């Protein structure tokens, strides 16, 4: 299997980094994953690092980065996480948007919030991995 995916969010500090690390973990390296942001932050969300670590995945070495057009052109799929990121992609790019639940809208914060986000992204990544396997 030689599949690849680019996960994009706004800051590239949490959700897209989580998704890429989860794909690496779930696919055991069978899918090449990248992450980027439309407006990259200055550092990784440490609550996301902790939540991912509890699931056995690691994003602690990630750094927020902008979208690389070369990667966009090379990957099989582009996944945009959340509603804040609006990348300027060519119409030919195979992109889809995952609108994720935002627990803070219901007053859920901290580690509980991040664990809920992690679990939803992990489920979607598992589904995507199985789709790419076929």
User: Which contiguous run of DSSP H or E holds residue 70?
Assistant: helix 69-74
Looking at residue 36, its pLDDT comes to 98
Summarize the confidence of residues 2-13 as an average pLDDT: 94
Could you give the CA distance from residue 74 to residue 70 in angstroms, rounded to a whole number? Answer: 6
pLDDT in tens, 89-133: 999 998 999 998 999 999 999 999 999 999 999 999 999 999 998
Q: Which domain holds residue 118?
A: 3-133
- Whole-prediction pTM: 0.95
- Total domains present in the chain: 1
Phi and psi at 90, nearest 5°, equal: -65, 150
Q: Return the CATH number at 11.
A: 3.40.50.2300
pLDDT of 1 higher than 50: no
Q: Please, are residues 40 and 8 in contact by the beta-carbon 8 Å criterion?
A: no
CA distance 65 to 14: 12
């Amino acid at each position: 299997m030689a599949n690849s995916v680019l996960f994009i969010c706004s800051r590239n500090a949490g959700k897209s980094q989580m998704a890429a690390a989860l794909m690496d973990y779930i696919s055991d390296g069978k899918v090449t994953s990248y992450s980027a942001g439309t407006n990259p932050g200055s550092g990784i969300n440490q609550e996301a690092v902790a939540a991912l670590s509890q699931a056995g995945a690691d994003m602690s070495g990630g750094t927020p980065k902008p979208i690389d057009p070369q990667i966009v052109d090379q990957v099989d799929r582009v996944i945009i996480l959340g509603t804040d990121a609006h990348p300027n992609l060519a119409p030919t790019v195979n992109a889809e948007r995952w609108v994720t639940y935002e627990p803070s809208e219901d007053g859920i914060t901290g580690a509980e919030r991040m664990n809920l986000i992690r679990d939803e992204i992990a489920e979607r990544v598992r589904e995507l991995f199985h789709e790419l396997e076929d």
